Chains A and B, each alone.
Chain A
Amino acid sequence: MSEENPLDLEAIRSEWLGVEFDERTFEPEASRMIAWAEACGETDPRFLDENHPDFQAPPNMTTIFNSGRFLPEGFPNIGSGFGIDGGKTVECLAPIRAGDVLTGTATIADVFDKTGRSGTMVFIVQRMTFSNQSGEPVSVVDWKTIRGI
């Protein structure tokens, strides 16, 4: 706890980091994969041609496969509202194919604060870890949300 930040982030981190709080399944379809790639200006046939031997989903498509819950039940109230989108990180571990059945597990990956001219902001990082139907890890997505306190 610091003078600028009345929250005990160490206690929050100790209690909540790594706790799994949701699990969902997702099935990417070829037509949506192609439409997404086309809309983003992709020209690589791996993302546009369903008959390409290495046809796969755009690398960041898992960013829309999010948990219905952003925070675990019982997570402390920090700031108000949903906060500001602080960006997204996607780690691509293996190609995602049309028809794969992905299982995404949600955890809180980090909680930290930064103090600047506009005061103290708390960053909450929600992580979704995706595996395919063979249990192979394929993608890890971090959503960063910024909340003022």
Chain B
Amino acid sequence: MSGSIVVSGIGIISAIGNNIEEIHFSLKNGICGIKRAQILKSKYKENFLFGEIPFSNQELIKKYSLSLSEDYTRTDILAEIAFQQAFQDAGWSHECIQSNKTCFISSSTVGGMSEIDELYHDAIHKTNPSVFIQSYAFSAHAKKIVERYEIKGKTAVINTACSSSSNAILLAQRMIEQGYADRAIVGGVDSLSKFTINGFSSLSILSQGYCKAFDQNRDGLNLGESAVYLCLEKESKNTKNYYGKIISGGNANDSFHPSALSDDGKGITLAITSALEKAKLSFENIDFIQAHGTGTPNNDLVETKTMKTLFKRHLPFYSSKTYVGHTLAASGAFGIVTCLLALKNKEIYANLNFQQAIEEINYPPNLINQPFEAKYAMSNAFGFNGNCTSIILQR
């Protein structure tokens, strides 16, 4: 049954665009969305660059003419925008969304912690709850969407850190393959939060400048924010204009360290090989990779080393994080969207901010936005606590 699930709609908002067309334009023209943050409230906005969506919550609500209750956090607002876009892009009616054969699988690692000052207040004070009192959970954005759109099909919310939305897609694919659903809206959302900024900063893995993924002199990642939802459905004679197919995926745990990858890339290797096995494809079939490529010394070394060992050839790859920063739970789905755009438009995107290959590996990423005809792409996402996931897409 592999190969029968198509992506028929995409909703996406990030630092390089507010919809799929704008994102495609930015990717094609190598436009980087990483900047000094304007909206974010954090001491670190002077020290680090961020992939911020350059609109305040009020501006977003106005821009998209949203009518939302006051308990919508930034995470909830971004999710709502991308969710709406996705089903509209796929041309799905409200009836279709409310069918019990339409499942909704989301993911978030920050959840309502985007409103961190209010969370802190509500956690320690016994009076005057903030408007967000019921909105802090990882699942709060999903519950709001379920209620708003009266979703009746199966819902789930995944948190495997930075591979969350890739695992959400893997779960949606299984649900459709096995007949638990005919359609899925699937993806993830994370907004910038003082919580994650201080977290990554305490681990000393935030770059002082732009994330230089796969560069010899890389010095860390940029945090970003994004919401990405894909509409998946079984391919039928009615599906006409779609972005591409989700073929298979592999999930494995590196079982090495809470916040670093093993030298031998065990988890990555297992995720990639099990995705290939499930798709009945071999290493030669993959034409390019959207790599996890965070720009941290550890990730990029292990990831390139593993790609070089497994694929035994220099296949083109890039990291979409060089455009929007690391968007955490949304990053897996974001990377997959760039693969779908590349496959559909017969092109490949450049890995930005790159100068020099990692010396000991000498395996540089793709550096030019150019025409590129491909059939199969792979998208990697690795998270804290060893969670590695690899997804295969087809034109």
Co-complex (A, B): no
Instruction: Enumerate chain B interface residues (CB-CB to A < 8 A).
Output: none
